[in-house]
Chain A
Amino acid sequence: MIGLIGQRAIASLASLVVLMVMVFFLSRLTGDPAALFLPIDATEEMKQQFRTLHGLDRPVLEQFVMYVWDVLRLDFGESLRRARPAIDVVLEAYAWTLPLALITMALVVVAAIVLGAIAAFNVGGIIDRGISVVSLIGASAPDFWIAIVAIVLFAINLGWLPTSGVGTPWHWIMPVAVLFIRPFGLIVQVVRGSMLSALAAPYVKTARAKGVKNRPIIFVHTLRNAMLPVITVIGDQAAALLNGAVIVETIFGFPGIGKLMIDSILQRDFNVVMAAILVTAVAIFIMNILIDIAYSILDPRIRQ
């Protein structure tokens, strides 16, 4: 097992390198950061000065070699805009994103699996229809709607929650709730579908012949068999959250990585983009490794 994880880690490291190289060159195809950092009426000398200062005037290949050299010494460069080490900026933001993603995903996973399984068990019934329609509306409604309506309702009209920002646990309720909705809707549907197939399997009959109660039949016998696609989709949704939740961060003023990433991309703050992708990619790779381990834990036939 340990050996396997080690092997995976090395392979992931290779992907990380590929990713970083791609990002490095592709991002440099998208325009000149000097023009964006400096005011619109900045002179050419100022732009030149900016480029020289940040090494942007050198050939891209040379920049790349320098970057690699720095990274090997764990120096991820300065943010072009913030005059701070890019990695600091990113880690600061990630310290907000990570708990947000984890809390949301934890809630989503529990709620979606329970309701999805219940829907599958009552397939075609009123509970199934109810859960499906509600979750689907959640999954397809524009999230800024939900966010703004939530603010109007809970912060302005009812005054129960603060409009936005961070600080107290109360501040987290709306962002988590809004982020919750889409992955919840998606995963409910995937759980439902996968459970439907699994519930038709003969071992369910065995369990019933054994006199096992419905709840363990659903949540113990069948669910585990239905989990393969479910955890894959959970992984996909978690990856989206680990990449930052732009809308929610924007509306609720949540200082996470999503907004930072978008701003840095739009402003061509290359070092921050690189550092942000490095951090999110590491998180996503770790998650994917965990998911693959989960596959083999869940299904002994996959273990090799």
Chain B
Amino acid sequence: MTEALLTVRNLSVDFHTARGTVHAVRNASWSVNRGETLAILGESGSGKSVSASAVMNLLDIPPAEVVSGEILFEGKDLLKVSYEEHRALNGKRIAMIFQDPLGHLNPVYTVGWQIVEMMTAHGRPANKARARALELVTRVGIPDPEKALKKYPHEFSGGQRQRLMIAMALMLKPDILIADEPTTALDVTIQAEVLALLKELQAETGMGLVLITHDLGVVAEIADRVVVMSQGEIVEEGSVREVYHHPRHPYTRKLIGAAPGKGEIKQPATDAPALLEVRELAKSYGKFTALKDASFTLSRGQSLAVVGESGSGKSTLARTILRLEKADSGKALWKGKDLITMSPRELLSVRREIQMVFQDPTQSLNPRMSVYQLISEGWDIHRLMPDRKARRRRVDELLEQVGLLPEHAERYPHQFSGGQRQRIAIARALALEPELIICDEAVSALDVSVQAQVMALLDGLRKKFGISYLFIAHDLGVVRDFADMVLVMKSGEIVEGGPTEKVFNAPEHPYTRRLLAANLDPDPDVQAQRRQMAATAPS
């Protein structure tokens, strides 16, 4: 093999904390060549994002320390070049898409400005940059791109932000693109478009792509080679097909075995009493209608999945029900009482019964509270579990249930990986033992094995305590396995709804059909077949 464009060799990164050293990355080696796509799969918290940050020189040193290794780009060790030299490479030659798109966009500048800056920072003329920004934003499927460029990050949905981030990274046609979970918040149709865009660019410029992902479907669709990471180490490496069909490491085997979408579809219980009835709920931001007359019923013990286009108003629906946004009209009856018009007092008493896991876990965790404080706060609020020891035990238990360690309780949110934070948010929602949990893309950042574990936990709780779920997700496999009812949203409207089986097997609305068709299969061979079919099919 010739010298790769980017080679990471023996990279080890430690974090020094008050409670000891965390070995985040241990002797990781991988490389990516021009025109090649390397997928990094791995456990949540296994050091994927940290190694990407190391390549970009974004680690805070200290507390982080690069203990060993080298990062060779065109033969130069990026760990040794000067700050200024590295800066000149960043964005222009090596670009990165961050895992957590809200926090990584500057809240006080328009997204247009931020995207354009990618080019102006490297001395390109602003007018050219603007034209390219417009082109790319259109390509990633943001509606009304002209206007969108003038808006601020908080005015976009989670998936839209992620796409803006992708557009930003592609501005300068970098030689290497490191994409950290670039499609976690995208519905499958848009995901397909984005992947197509990446491929196209790759063909055009010979870009090397490092794709950090949990989605085996995405890997199957786009990657050439795979490395698998676990506990900071690389445990397996090979071509996509090789690894999928002949995994050697037990973790890899577990991972592939856990891929969702293969189980039996559940049947909704028919006799359960209604818990939440939403009637013609509507919400608009200025002139833009984000939610149009949404109506549905959620029964006790049911799990209702909401799927749909990114930006179609799923999060808005959840937030409006919870009164985080003021509804324009409509009702949301909780056990018969309207949440929308409820007095603040009454609302407060209902709060405990409905919990939410936010789409953006990082932002939803108070940075000044330790994990223990975050999880136990609900008990403080509702005066539950006065016994400190019991609390401690319960926190440890919850952490373990979501796949974290008891000792994580003393850490603060910024010391975790994206997936770990998401699990902290889930643990926090579970701590209050609510009757309804609204999960907004709650498992999107988890690798499939942890995801399976968490889903099993949620399902178990449903069976045991009759907890209901309003489950917003884009991963159709997960939805298929977990939900017994499905709503499909598009452009602020619920276009289809019904039992999972019906929606999956006999979709009515054209959008639903498109959606299902765009779903990716984790098997690379299946994906290759489909690609071929699509290519030969008459358009």
- The chain A residues found within 8 Å of chain B, CB to CB, are 201-203, 205-213, 216, 221, 224-225, 298-301
Contact = CB atoms under 8 A, between A and B. Distances in A.
Interface in B56-101: 56-58, 87-92, 95-96, 98, 100
Contacts of A202: 98, 100, 103-104, 362
30 contacts: A201-B103, A202-B104, A202-B362, A205-B98, A206-B104, A206-B106, A207-B117, A208-B57, A208-B90, A209-B56, A209-B90, A209-B98, A210-B90, A210-B95, A210-B118, A210-B121, A210-B168, A211-B87, A211-B88, A212-B87, A212-B91, A212-B121, A213-B87, A213-B121, A216-B121, A225-B108, A298-B108, A299-B107, A300-B107, A301-B107
Interface residues of B, number: 30
Contacts of B91: 209-212
B87 A208 contact: yes
Contacts of B122: 211
B156 interface: no
Given A208-B90, A210-B168, A221 B106 contact: yes
B58 A224 contact: no
B121 A224 contact: no
Contact of B152 (A205, A209, A225, A300): A300
Given A201-B103, A202-B103, A206-B106, A212 B56 contact: no
Contacts of A299: 107-108
Nearest to A225: B108
Given A205-B98, A216-B121, A211 B92 contact: yes
B104 A203 contact: yes
B109 interface: yes
Contacts of B100: 202
Contacts of A207: 106, 117
Nearest to A206: B104
Nearest to A202: B103
A296 to B, nearest CB: 11
B76 to A, nearest CB: 16
Given A203-B106, A209-B96, 13 more contacts: A202-B104, A203-B104, A205-B58, A209-B95, A210-B121, A211-B89, A211-B91, A212-B117, A213-B121, A221-B109, A299-B107, A300-B107, A300-B108
A209 B104 CA distance: 10
Nearest to A297: B108
B154 interface: yes
A211 B109 contact: no
Contact of A203 (B87, B89, B107, B154): B107
A299 B103 CA distance: 15
A211 B93 CA distance: 10
Contacts of B105: 203, 206
Contacts of A210: 90-91, 95, 117-118, 121, 168
A37 B90 CA distance: 74
Given A213-B87, A300-B152, A300-B154, A208 B104 contact: no
A205 B108 contact: no
B150 to A, nearest CB: 11
Secondary structure type dominating chain B contacts? loop
A301 B154 contact: yes
A284 to B, nearest CB: 27
Contacts of B92: 211
A126 B96 CA distance: 33
Contact of B109 (A205, A208, A224): A224
Counting chain A CB atoms within 10 Å of each CB, the highest count among B53, B57, B109 belongs to B109
Contact of B58 (A209, A225, A301): A209
B89 to A, nearest CB: 7
Contact of A224 (B56, B108, B114, B118): B108
- A-B pairs, 4 with minimum CB distance: A211-B91, A211-B90, A202-B103, A210-B91
Contacts of B168: 210
A301 B87 contact: no
A208 B90 CA distance: 7
Contacts of B362: 202
B268 to A, nearest CB: 40
Contacts of A213: 87, 121
Contacts of A300: 107-108, 152, 154
A303 to B, nearest CB: 9
A192 to B, nearest CB: 19
A16 to B, nearest CB: 32
A224 B109 CA distance: 9
Contacts of A216: 121
Contacts of B104: 202-203, 205-206
A209 B95 CA distance: 7
A261 B58 CA distance: 55
Counting chain B CB atoms within 10 Å of each CB, the highest count among A216, A224, A225, A300 belongs to A300
Nearest to B155: A300
A205 B97 CA distance: 11
A216 B89 CA distance: 17
A301 B104 CA distance: 16
A113 B426 CA distance: 41
A300 B114 CA distance: 15
A109 B109 CA distance: 22
Nearest to A205: B58
A216 B117 CA distance: 10
A25 to B, nearest CB: 40
A300 B156 CA distance: 13
Contacts of A224: 108-109
Interface in B209-257: none
Nearest to B90: A211
Contacts of B95: 209-210
B305 to A, nearest CB: 30
A224 B103 CA distance: 16
Contact of B103 (A203, A208, A298, A301): A203
Nearest to A216: B121
A292 B202 CA distance: 48
B267 to A, nearest CB: 43
A212 B83 CA distance: 12
Nearest to B87: A211
Contacts of B152: 300-301
A208 B58 contact: yes
Contacts of B108: 224-225, 298-301
B103 A211 contact: no
A176 to B, nearest CB: 32
A23 B117 CA distance: 53
Interface in B1-26: none
Given A201-B103, A211-B88, A301-B152, A206 B121 contact: no
B118 to A, nearest CB: 5
B538 to A, nearest CB: 42
Contacts of A211: 87-92, 121-122
